[in-house]
């Protein structure tokens, strides 16, 4: 792989990571990892309940968002 190809591949991975993080695609995985490291004695929410809580919290405290 040439240096240009390696740089381009790294840029594409960075853009993919940024967009998926921005859109919240990694939110549940991050929540589970954090929950296991700080609240190991309690089971984490399942994914459906996690998203329900997240959207409820966003509706209660909208902050700065476009929609």
Domain-located, residue 66:
no
Residue 16, domain extent? 3-60
pLDDT tens digits along 4-30: 999 999 999 998 888 877 777 889 999
Q: What stretches of 1-67 show up as alpha helix (H) in DSSP?
A: 3-23, 27-38, 47-60
Domain-located, residue 65:
no
> What is the number of domains present in the chain?
1
Domain-located, residue 34:
yes
Domain-located, residue 53:
yes
Domain-located, residue 30:
yes
Query: With bands split at pLDDT 50, 70 and 90, how would you rate the model's confidence at 33?
Result: very high
Domain-located, residue 24:
yes
Q: Is the pLDDT of residue 34 over 90?
A: yes
Q: Is the pLDDT of residue 65 over 80?
A: no
Domain-located, residue 8:
yes
Is residue 45 within 8 A of residue 58, CB to CB? The reply is no
Query: With bands split at pLDDT 50, 70 and 90, how would you rate the model's confidence at 67?
Result: low
Domain-located, residue 67:
no
In this prediction the pTM is 0.65
């Amino acid at each position: 792989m040439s240096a240009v190809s390696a740089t381009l591949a790294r840029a594409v991975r960075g853009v993919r990571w940024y967009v998926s993080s921005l859109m919240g695609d990694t939110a549940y995985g991050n929540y589970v990892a954090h929950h296991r490291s700080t609240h190991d004695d309690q089971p984490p929410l399942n994914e459906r309940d996690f998203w329900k809580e997240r959207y409820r919290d966003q509706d209660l405290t909208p902050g700065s968002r476009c929609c």
